[in-house]
Amino acid sequence: MKHLFICFIAGTCFLLSSCSEKKHLAKPGDKDQETIKVMSYNVHHCNPPAKPEVIDLNAIAAVINAAKPDLVGLQEIDVNTIRSGKEINQAKELAAKTNMHYYFAKAIDYQGGGYGVAILSKYELSEAQVYPLSSDPSTNAEPRVLVTAKVVLPSGKVIRFANTHLDATSNPTNRSLQIKEINAIALKERTPFIITGDFNAVPGSEVIVAMDEVFTRTCFTCGPTIPANKPTKCIDFVGYTTKKPMTVQAHQVISAPEASDHLPVVAVLGFKP
């Protein structure tokens, strides 16, 4: 009975953490749509907030495996750094633990290795590109990048998947520069362009207003993603831009406060095959 009660509570918590956006949802009869499940996850270099000295790749992998995404945008990834292990490539290790392909994009040199963002994909990745993003030199801000890669879905449809982590300083100047550059890159793409990221900006801010000029976010009223233990605001998003209709069939913020300082966002997108 105790085990059943715990399972019931866990299931209830998951449902409460799922923020479905009914305005976006495709109609149940749209069975001819091909779907793809996308996750955005800031993993805090796989360091659980409650365990300052611990690097726990298994905890992050477990969250990803439970959600069963097709594509994942990871932010705050360490590769061969002192703090996370000189022999550890977190992008490669997480790909192995989730049985996915990967691509790492370094934003900065850090502690003898690299720190940046990564893509995990159920399908092969090709034509990966890394774009350095601008910042005002007077801010002395940490460099940021956008990474994109070509993905061919089982139907043969080609998409471009992107991931980023925008500037975290209190002044929005750098983020505004960076989102404008991302918008320009997306507008040049002829195939569907799906983006994930930690944008360090909330809905209604000038950064997300600018994002909304080009991208359709998968949430209107977005569930909070930080801090993971008691989330109060949303700064992690999934968005897309496409010349053909696309629908959002689901949008969730997953409750996983034990693994990172952010909660992951998962969205299911549908389009004609």
- Verify cis geometry, omega within 30 degrees of 0, for the bond prior to 227: yes
Q: Does residue 180 surpass a pLDDT of 60?
A: yes
Q: Tell me how far apart the terminal alpha carbons of the chain are, to the nearest angstrom.
A: 46
How far is residue 273's CA from residue 271's CA, in Å, rounded to a whole number? 6
Strand 236-241: give its sheet, edge to edge: 125-133, 144-152, 158-165, 193-198, 236-241, 216-217
Domain count, the chain: 1
pLDDT (average), residues 46-59:
95
Q: What is the mean pLDDT of the chain?
A: 90
Q: Report pLDDT for 31.
A: 57
Of the listed ranges 9-23, 87-101, 136-150, the least confidently predicted one is 9-23
CATH of the domain at 161: 3.60.10.10
Sorting pLDDT into bands at 50, 70 and 90, what band is 32? low
How far is residue 43's CA from residue 90's CA, in Å, rounded to a whole number? 10
Q: Does residue 8 surpass a pLDDT of 50?
A: no
Sorting pLDDT into bands at 50, 70 and 90, what band is 247? very high
Alpha-carbon separation of residue 106 from 132, 154, 226, 228 (angstroms): 10, 29, 24, 25
Q: Report pLDDT for 17.
A: 41
Of the listed ranges 18-27, 104-113, 118-127, 128-137, the least confidently predicted one is 18-27
Q: Does residue 14 surpass a pLDDT of 70?
A: no
Q: Does residue 243 surpass a pLDDT of 90?
A: no
Q: Which amino acid is at 196?
A: T
Q: Does residue 22 surpass a pLDDT of 60?
A: no
Of the listed ranges 205-209, 244-248, 250-254, 266-270, the least confidently predicted one is 244-248
Query: What crossing angle do the helices spanning 90-98 and 57-67 adopt, rounded to 10°?
Result: 40
Token code pair at residue 259: 């693994």
Sorting pLDDT into bands at 50, 70 and 90, what band is 273? low
Q: Does residue 108 surpass a pLDDT of 60?
A: yes
CB 118 within 8 A of CB 163: yes
Q: Does residue 206 surpass a pLDDT of 60?
A: yes
Q: Does residue 30 surpass a pLDDT of 60?
A: no
pTM: 0.89
Give the DSSP letter of residue 142.
Answer: P
pLDDT for 123-150, tens place per residue? 999 999 999 999 999 999 999 999 999 9
Token code pair at residue 116: 């940046």
Domain containing 8 equals 2-271
- Which of residues 36 and 30 earns the better pLDDT score? 36
How far is residue 203's CA from residue 211's CA, in Å, rounded to a whole number? 10
